[in-house]
Chain A
Amino acid sequence: MDPVKPSDFARGEAHLGKSLLIRGELSGSEDLYLDGQVEGTIDLKGNRLTVGPNGKIKANVNARSAVVHGKLEGNITASDRVDLKHSAVVTGDITTQRISIDEGAYFKGGVDIHRDAPKQEVVGAKPEVTPASTPAAAGASVSATGARPAPIAALDPRK
């Protein structure tokens, strides 16, 4: 797995290192970088969650955006966007407005794109065309067309 450079995550966000294990409810009002293990729930409404390459998360996530380099087992609800990097292993359902999945990422689950705002984008990564997998260069974008069904709050249970 490629290491995540310090520049990959924003300054000022909280950082939980790879030796940490948290069980329970994790909530906050600032961006969070997680490289350890979390079992429970993560609620960062309005903020960004980054799961580092060593991160092992077993939790439902609620955030503005989520960037996953490591392993995440649980449902992700992001009001803005979700980025699954090439080393990501994600099992669960994703509900968001935009999603980017790098080539090589593993994903098992459902994707439900909801568009509340009139000009939102759906982004799909195509590294063979745009090797730099930054969100801005993550692939073609298209504008949403027409009215969409209301977002599904809870997707069907798998187990």
Chain B
Amino acid sequence: MAQTNPPFLTGVPELLVLRMLSGREMYGYEIVKAMRLVTREAIGFGEGVVYPVLHALEEGGALKARRKSVNGRERVYYAVTTKGKRRLEHLSDEWKRVSLGVNSALNGANGNPEHA
């Protein structure tokens, strides 16, 4: 039976944020910089939209935030929780499954639907 794929459409920012934070805690600007670097700037977005994603993940218990003063500037640092790690695993599996399917379709492994 076919599975539904809501994360394919809505889970990408979540997935990337959780992946960036899986190594160490970071603040918003650092997260965006890391995202741009690892995705080779393949994903374009206004950087301000990262904050709703962070706040929603925190609200859902996937992240925890703390204010930290560094060089006289107060910043909000985010870290992944145990629940966030599980969510990252789930989203990663979903993404791999979906991308495998899309790649399979692009590579024509199952034949051209026009000839079906």
Q: Do A and B bind each other?
A: no
